[in-house]
Structure 1
């Protein structure tokens, strides 16, 4: 099991694993810093799609030989995203990466049914992986960026995507906390009912490869002391590997809180597609973008 992002990177390097990405709207310092770092680490080659002059100037600032990079000129974000998705569909690269463009523009291109990057009836979901320093382990939070108000059916698929991701990390039977504002079922709060149904579905074998429990408050999901104080007996409470959030708003706020308040290292990945989608926030640091690349390369294996 990998305890942090550095351990994943070292394992990829040790096993000589290298993939190739296409970066849409690559004219961004943090995005380029991360792909340059990934190249120097020997885990990723990249095709850079975007404002050619800006890309070349940034590469020069980063100490790179510009002529050693493949650059495709396209100043229009939507067209750059379509070029990037097309390169993946044609198997010229292994995965697409979002640069300095809107998430909706990126997703519209990669979700084009004609390209076949998404299986029929599949649901893609975003997952933020953070290094929980206090316990030196990786924890997955989903969904923080794609599914706005998932119902029971979508949450079931979000769990399945997150469980597959945890299996890649080396967590054989991840503990899944379905997070809600309170631990009791309240008919006025959909998240509590969804959590109870997902827990039952897991007990009946409809959700496999993990242990699901909920509804659990965020405090009970991550703190054994909080769970004990409230008298909660659970195999998941206090030691969750996966936190399933009630909706995008709560997931997105937690994601940013982990980075800006707690200062945790994070990685943002997308699961559920036929290939990894490297989709980070435009405000993400170069370090977190590199973590996202590292985890996406691992995800592709």
Structure 2
């Protein structure tokens, strides 16, 4: 598999695979409706919109969206809509859960519920953003910028492994991983630099596999050869 270097390339890859079903938790949000409609029309997903049917259909008309492409499950109460959407994934009727117009706190509690949630036992819930920018020649994977505000070392190791796994799914056999901190120097006064050095050493000793890992690194040297040269840094 050739590495995917653009988001358009990702779309083309998904089009060639089995179509998954998306369950949207409280889908009466115009931006959500537009995004899901585009995914359905491009053949990327099938969609189950859980929420207020009347409101979903009204917003769809306002946006010029044909709501008949969705399966709408009429649920008036937002939290209940979230629960039903989650259960669709638990029961195998959908493969992907998407957040609609529902409180983030409620949404996360539904996912993390110990009895009925979606997180496998012993795993850590994380977040990965995949970004494409004209000023950089390839995709950037950034994690975690949404779920764990201050990860400890164990969580950082899990985040690193998740990011490597996602990069492999994009056809990147040996991704370069920068463990970020405010400085490239290890300091006992900055826990982030110590954690980064530990993770880099773990990768060197094959405790973390499938990637080239270095850290601590500031963001500028992680993405810019010129910044490395200015700082006389070899990575």
What is the TM-score when the length of structure 1 is the normalising length?
A: 0.74
Bigger Cα Rg:
2
Quick one: distance in 2 between partners of 1:170 and 1:68? 32
Quick one: distance in 1 between partners of 2:129 and 2:17? 26
CA positional deviation for 1:63 = 3.3
Structure 1 counterpart of 2:13: 11
**Structure 2 contact 40–69 (Cα < 8 Å) conserved:** no
Q: 1:227 to 1:67 in 2, by over 3 A?
A: closer
Structure 2 counterpart of 1:118: 119
Confirm whether residue 199 of structure 1 aligns to residue 200 of structure 2.
yes
**Structure 1 contact 177–215 (Cα < 8 Å) conserved:** yes
Gaps of 5+ in 1: 235-301
CA positional deviation for 1:11 = 2.5
Range that drifts further, 37-46 or 56-65: 56-65
CA positional deviation for 1:157 = 0.1
1:168-206 deviations in Å (ceiling 9; x for gaps): 111111111011111111111110010111111111111
**Structure 1 contact 177–216 (Cα < 8 Å) conserved:** yes
Q: 1:152 to 1:145 in 2, by over 3 A?
A: same
Quick one: distance in 1 between partners of 2:182 and 2:223? 14
**Structure 1 contact 192–215 (Cα < 8 Å) conserved:** yes
* Alignment root-mean-square deviation, CA: 1.4
Structure 1 counterpart of 2:171: 170
Q: Secondary structure at the match of 1:101?
A: coil
Confirm whether residue 149 of structure 1 aligns to residue 150 of structure 2.
yes
Structure 2 counterpart of 1:211: 212
Q: Secondary structure at the match of 2:36?
A: helix
Structure 2 counterpart of 1:227: 228
**Structure 1 contact 4–136 (Cα < 8 Å) conserved:** no
Q: 1:6 to 1:189 in 2, by over 3 A?
A: same
Quick one: distance in 2 between partners of 1:167 and 1:126? 16
CA positional deviation for 1:60 = 2.1
What is the TM-score when the length of structure 2 is the normalising length?
A: 0.94
Structure with bigger RCO (C-alpha 8 Å, 6+ apart)? 1
Aligned residues: 233
Structure 2 counterpart of 1:133: 134
Quick one: distance in 2 between partners of 1:192 and 1:81? 39
Equivalent residue runs for 1:1-301 within 5 Å: 1-13=3-15, 15-115=16-116, 117-234=118-235
Quick one: distance in 2 between partners of 1:8 and 1:214? 28
1:224-249 deviations in Å (ceiling 9; x for gaps): 11111111111xxxxxxxxxxxxxxx
Q: Secondary structure at the match of 2:135?
A: helix
Quick one: distance in 1 between partners of 2:164 and 2:219? 19
